[in-house]
Structure 1
Amino acid sequence: MDIATAPALSTGEPAFPHRDLARLSAAARRRILRFAADRAVHLGSSLSVVDVLVTVCRAAGLTPATVDDPGRDRLILSKGHAVWALYAVLGELGVLDTDGADTAARLPGHPPEGLPGVDAATGALGHGLSIGAGLAEAARLGGRDRRTYVILGDGELNEGSVWEAAMFAAHRGLGRLVAVVDVNGLQQDGPTADVLDLSPLDAKWRSFGWHVVEADGHDLAALADALDTADAEPDRPTVVLAHTVKGRGVPFMEHDADWHVGSLDAGQLATALRAVGDD
C-alpha cells in the first residue's frame, strides 16, 4: 500500500492500519538519516519522536486531501528542533515535497509558517502549548469541533511558559486540546533528571488539572489508544506521556546525548540505514 495515496479520514476511522503506520515510521526514519548525510540536523530527538508524529498525523487525518481544509485538526510541533521528523513524515504522506537532492539544504532548521502541514512556526522552546491552547480556545468559541495536538519535549517542560499554558487550558476546560510529551530522558546538556528534575511528571500534570495517560512512545497501537482516551474527557485537556528512546532505531545513537545534533558520513549513514531497515 502506498501511504501517500491512502484515503483521507472521514468518520474518525484510521485511513490505514497500524501495520502501514509501522512502514511509514521506518520510511520516515530513513528519510531523517538521509537529511543528516547532507547537513547537521537534530538527529536524536527527531528519531525519538517519529512514531509520535506518525500516530498524531493519523489521528488528525492529515493527508494531501485535508491539509488545506480550514476545519481540520491542528498539529503543532513545539519541540521545533525535531522538525526533521516532521518533514520526513509529511514527505512520506505526500503532504510536503522532500524528494529533491537539495531538500535538507533548502528546508529551515525549525518549522516555518507557510509550509504545508506546518500550523505554527516554532523553535523557541516553551511556546507551542500556549499557541495550541489559543487555537483550541478559538475553536471552542467558534463552535468548531476540531482537535489541537501539541508535541513537546520533556526537556522543554523546564520552560515556565509551558505550565502557564497548562493552567489556562485546564481552567478553560479545553477538552479538544491534546499534548504529547516526548519523554526520552535526555536534552542537549544531559539527562533531564539532572538538568532539572520534574518527577513525578504524571502527578505534576494531574495537579494542573489535566487528564494524564502514559504510553510506550514507540508502540503505535498503544499511542493510538492513548490519544483516543481524550474522547472520554470533554471538559479537560489530555496529555500523553510518551516514553521514548533518543536516537531510536540506530544503536550507536540510542541513549546518547552527543547525538542531539549531528551529521552522518557515508559509513555512518550506511550503518544507520541497515539498522532501521534500508529498502
Structure 2
Amino acid sequence: MHASMANGSEPIEPDLSDNDSSYPGSYHSFHEGEYVLPNDEQEQDRLDLSHHIYLMLLKGELYKAPIQRPGRVLDLGTGTGIWAIDFADEYPEAEVVGIDLSPIQPSWVPPNCRFEVDDFEQPWSFSSPFDYIHGRELEGAIRDHDKLFEQAFDNLNPNGWFEMATMAVDTYSDDDTHLNATCLLDMAKHLDISSKSFGKDMRSVTTWKERFEQAGFINVKEEVIKLPQSPWPKDSKLKELGRYHQLNMLEAMPTYSFALFTRMLGWKRVQIEALLAGVRHELKDLSNHLYTKVHIVYGQKPA
C-alpha cells in the first residue's frame, strides 16, 4: 500500500497528476487500469451528482449505520471527497480520511479532513484503527470483496461500524414496463458479463450481507430503496430523484460501456453507440416506469 497510509499524515503526491488517456477522458495513473471509469471533470461532476442523489434518498443523512461520536473515519474510494468533507463538517471532532486512486479532491477542506492517494484493494497499514469505515458506489472497483470486508473488520475499533452502499445496475418496474426497455436490460446483461471478465463483478451487491457476516460483523442490516431511473413518478420528490438519476445514468453508461465492452467483449464503437442510443430512448420514455434498487449494508465489529 502507498507510503502515505503507513504514517497517516503524508499529503497527496503531485507527480501522480499525469494521467493515462488511452480512452476518452483522463484516467488514474496510480495502479493504472484497476478502475474502468475516468477521473476527468465530467466524471467528477457525475460523482457529486450521485452524492446529491444519496442525500435526497437518505433525507439529508450521510449514513445509515447507528454510529455515535466517531473518532476516526475512513472513506474508501472517496472520489471528489464530497462525502468526506460533508461528514467532517457534520462531525468537527472526528478525524476523517479519504483515500482514492486519484488526487482529484479540493485543496481547501475542513481541518479535520485529509485525503491520500491509495488503493483500498492493497494491504492496509494504517497507523491506528477507525470507528467508522464507509464505501459508496464501489461496484466495478472491487476485485476481492471478502478481502476488502476482512480488512475493514481488522481496521475497526471494537464496536466500530462498516457501511457499503451502491446503486444496482439492474432495471425493474412494478408493472412490467421494464420489459419494454430491452436496450437497458441488454446493457445490464453485458455489464454483468464484462465486469466479471474484468474481475470486478458489478452484480455482487446481493452477496454483501452474507459476506459481512462471514467477515465477522454482527448486527448486519441491509436496506433496499427504490430509485426511479427517469422522472416518471407523479410524486414531486420522486420525480426530482428520477430526473437526477436519469442524468446520472446518461453520463455513466457511455464510460462504463466503452471501457468494459471494448476491452472485455471486443465490441466496436458502432455497436456500443447503437446500444446507447436505445438506452437513451428508453430512459426518456416516461411510459416505462423504471427504477433500480439502492442497497445499503452495514455491520458492527463485536466488542
One fold, TM greater than 0.5? no
* TM-score between the two structures when normalised by the length of structure 1: 0.40
Higher radius of gyration, 1 or 2: 2
Greater share of residues in helix: 1
* TM-score between the two structures when normalised by the length of structure 2: 0.37
Q: Which has the higher contact order (CA 8 A, sep 6+)?
A: 1
